[in-house]
Amino acid sequence: MITVALTKGRLYKDFTAYLEDNDLNQYIDPLSEDTRSLYTVVDNVKFIFAKGPDVPTYVESGVADIGIVGSDIIEEDTFNILNVSQLPFGDCHFSVAGLPDQTEFRTIATKYTNVASKYFRDKKTDVSLVHLNGSVELAPLLGLTDGIVDIVQTGNTLKDNGLIEYEKILDIHARLIANKRTFYTKEDEIYKFLTEIGVF
């Protein structure tokens, strides 16, 4: 049996939509069940459901053999994993956003402080970063910061809160990651699953 770590939320919805588009019925129903269970087993594959930032940790430790995670998480932190390949879903991007008519950014709110720090450092722009875990759009609205660095998919959240994109930082995609040891010791089982879902 192999174990696949999946992240709940936006990327999980993109993955199940991908399964539906490709008529992978054996996985669609078990993964679409409305349940509080933290895992499910389909044939010889155990799927575990975790928060996005925890998926690489499960894979790194060997608790999961492979994982599906956004490249935003891999860009933000360092993990001892195999970054195997890009997947055909989960596309979005990092952006700098703020209120209309913002002329410069001196303070930025973000969950992704490493990504933001590298971006502004490469631009040789001095900014102060404020780390927030959620609803970063509030920061410029309340005057805490001049702008934000966040993930943008449709742009609707920004628009609904009166914010606009100023600079695109980096494209984000779903990535297939793997444990450095079990990717080879369970090679046949892993490749069978990846071939079934059309990734390889």
Average pLDDT over residues 139-153: 97
Residue 26 has pLDDT above 90, yes or no: no
Per-residue pLDDT at 186:
96
Cβ atoms within 10 Å of 126's Cβ, excluding its own: 9
In degrees to the nearest 10, what's the CA dihedral of 94, 48, 67, 112? 20
Identify the helix (H) or strand (E) that includes residue 141. Answer: helix 138-141
Q: Quick one: pLDDT band at residue 175, thresholds 50, 70, 90?
A: very high
Q: 2-90+173-196 in CATH: which number?
A: 3.40.190.10
pLDDT for residue 36: 75
Domain extents in the chain? 2-90+173-196, 92-171
d(CA 177, CA 108): 30
CATH topology match: 2-90+173-196 vs 92-171:
yes
**pTM (predicted TM-score):** 0.91
Each residue's pLDDT tens digit, 34-92: 777 899 999 899 999 999 999 999 999 999 999 999 999 999 999 999 999 999 999 99
Q: Does domain 92-171 have CATH number 3.40.190.10?
A: yes
